[in-house]
Amino acid sequence: MAVTTLGNLEEITAWQKAKQLTLEMYTVSAQGAFANDAEMRDQFRTSCVAILTHIVEGFSRSETGEFAPSLAKANAVTGEVRNRLYTAVDKGYLGKMIFDRLYVLATETTRAIDELTAFLRKSTAKGGGPSA
């Protein structure tokens, strides 16, 4: 069985990007009109936490090579978050600058997750994990 050694979760770029996106989303959704729309705020926050949850769950199963399905789920949720950003702009909750910032972060998160997925696929295809 291919044992993929990934080291520390906190050192994985996908995790770092997702965490940054989440914390910034918390800051943005705690202010102004956004803070008063409890439902919208909750949706955003819950989605961000879901990205993190999927990555953590996948990571804890990475030794048995089951990281990829969790990463796919994480990516799906990140896509949702990116789409929701448009809704937030339409409602006037986000200014152009903050929208751009968050959109870039969400895109970077997606890319980092894709790269991690590709890395995992390559290492299992070779039949052996990369050495740590």
- Is 33 a binding residue for other proteins by CB under 8 A? The answer is no
Select the residue interacting with other proteins from 15, 78, 116, 120 (CB under 8 A).
15
> What are the residues whose beta carbons fall under 8 Å from the beta carbon of 124, sequence distance 6 or more?
2, 4, 65
45 vs 124, which CB is nearer to other proteins?
Answer: 45
User: Binding other proteins by CB under 8 A: which of 6, 14, 40, 48?
Assistant: 48
> Is 35 a residue that touches other proteins (CB under 8 A)?
yes
Residues with Cβ within 8 Å of 3's Cβ and at least 6 positions away in sequence, in order, are 63, 129
Give residue 65's region: left, alpha or beta (phi > 0; psi -120 to 50). left
- Closest to other proteins by CB, 38 vs 132, is 38
- DSSP 3-state assignment of 127? coil
Site of tokens 């770092």? 16
Contact residue for other proteins among 2, 13, 49, 101 (CB under 8 A): 49
Query: Applying CB under 8 A, does 56 fall inside the site for other proteins?
Result: yes
The count of C-alpha atoms lying within 13 angstroms of the C-alpha of 82, restricted to the half-sphere facing its C-beta, is: 16
Number of residues assigned to the chain:
132
Q: How many CA atoms lie within 13 A of 110 on its CB side?
A: 15
Closer Cβ to other proteins, 5 or 27, answer by number = 27
Q: Is 42 in the site for other proteins (CB under 8 A)?
A: yes
Residues near other proteins (CB under 8 A) are 9-10, 15, 19, 22-23, 26-31, 35, 38, 42, 45-46, 48-49, 52-53, 56, 60
